[in-house]
């Protein structure tokens, strides 16, 4: 749940939810659900993967899943869930902790690609 994950990451109250501008995320139904659940959502520029720590987390998951070589959609779903559960909270903590460096790097590169 949202609360258990925020506790695991030692996050205090008042945090802000961030997602990209994928049409599913900007759909009226999604926005309404987030509003009803009292999520504070950060406005986000499109095409900005360097600023989005989740992109690194997706990469981590993709690598872990690929190593297990799922043979069908059912196995893929099961392996994704298993590997997601195995990713330590420290991975997320490090992504959050390096955010300032990511932001500084994007600014220094005038918006162009960075090492992140």
Q: Tell me the two tokens of residue 5.
A: 């994950």
pLDDT value of position 55: 83
pLDDT value of position 17: 81
Count Cα atoms within 13 angstroms, Cβ side, for 69.
0
Residues 53 and 39 grouped into a single domain: no
Contacts 24+ apart (CB under 8 A), 9-17: 9/89, 9/92, 9/93, 9/96, 10/93, 15/40, 16/40, 16/41, 16/42, 17/41, 17/42
Residues 58 and 13 grouped into a single domain: no
pLDDT value of position 12: 66
Residues 37 and 58 grouped into a single domain: no
Residues 1 and 34 grouped into a single domain: yes
The rounded average pLDDT for each run of 10 residues, N- to C-terminus, in the chain (116 residues) is 62 74 88 90 73 85 98 98 95 88 84 72
pLDDT value of position 74: 97
Residues 36 and 90 grouped into a single domain: no
In 3D, which of 46, 23, 49 has the Cα closest to residue 116? 49
Residues 41 and 67 grouped into a single domain: no
Residues 69 and 111 grouped into a single domain: yes
Residues 85 and 111 grouped into a single domain: yes
pTM of the model: 0.59
In 3D, which of 67, 65, 95 has the Cα closest to residue 81? 65
Number of domains observed in the structure of the chain: 2
Range of the domain at 52: 48-116
Residues 5 and 19 grouped into a single domain: yes
Q: Considering 13, 31, 47, which residue would you say is the last residue of a domain? A: 47
């Amino acid at each position: 749940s949202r609360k258990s994950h925020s506790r695991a990451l030692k996050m205090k109250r008042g945090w802000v939810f961030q997602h990209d501008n994928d049409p599913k995320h900007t759909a009226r139904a999604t926005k309404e659900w987030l509003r009803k659940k009292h999520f504070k959502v950060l406005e986000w520029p499109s095409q900005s993967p360097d600023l989005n720590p989740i992109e690194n987390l997706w990469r981590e998951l993709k690598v872990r899943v690929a190593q297990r070589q799922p043979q069908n959609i059912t196995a893929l779903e099961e392996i994704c869930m298993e590997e997601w559960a195995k990713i330590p909270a420290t991975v997320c903590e490090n992504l959050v902790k390096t955010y300032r460096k990511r932001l500084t790097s994007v600014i220094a590169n005038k918006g162009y690609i960075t090492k992140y």
